[in-house]
Amino acid sequence: MTNNPGNQAPLTSHRQEDWDEACETYLLEHAPGLKDYYAAQHQAFLQIEEDALSRYPDPTPGDIAAAQAAEAALPSRKRTELQLRRSFVPLAAHLPSEVKRSRKRFIQRHQRAWNRANPAPLTWELERTLTAEFRRTYGQ
């Protein structure tokens, strides 16, 4: 029977995942204010996503029909310009993806603003110190 290292890799990766999870739990318990920070971040991000959904709702068939009618009312040159910008993708397929992109930009912009306004209490120095302490205590 040959030694197949492919059979050993999942066991090693599971051990590493367990180790990483234990280290993360250790950081949460020993970094002051980190649990509260993550809870506040989670709540803020949920609120941002709700705001994005209300601000950029999925288009209804009526919205698409109205946009198509408005596009049809444009002069030929402008209509062709719009179609070229979409690479000739029909408006019915283009409009939902544009709404999703706008929603995603809104979410990302507000999440970055929240992160700038609320710096994480776990600095890289503190994380390095706590990780070293964790390794000394539990050995790896």
Can you give the pLDDT of all 140 residues of the chain as single tens digits? 444 545 444 445 668 888 889 999 999 999 899 999 999 999 999 999 999 999 999 888 888 888 888 888 989 898 888 888 777 777 777 788 889 999 999 999 999 999 999 999 989 999 999 999 999 988 76
How many CA atoms lie less than 13 Å away from 77 in the CB half-sphere? 0
Amino acid found at 91: L
- Does residue 88 come out as left (phi exceeding 0), alpha (psi in the -120 to 50 range) or beta? left
Closest CA to 34 of 98, 107, 123: 123
> pTM of whole model > 0.85?
no
Q: What is the DSSP letter of 121?
A: S
User: Is the distance from CB of 138 to CB of 29 less than 8 angstroms?
Assistant: no
Residues in contact with 26: Cβ distance below 8 Å, sequence separation at least 6, in sequence order: 130, 134
CA gap 111, 107 in Å, rounded: 6
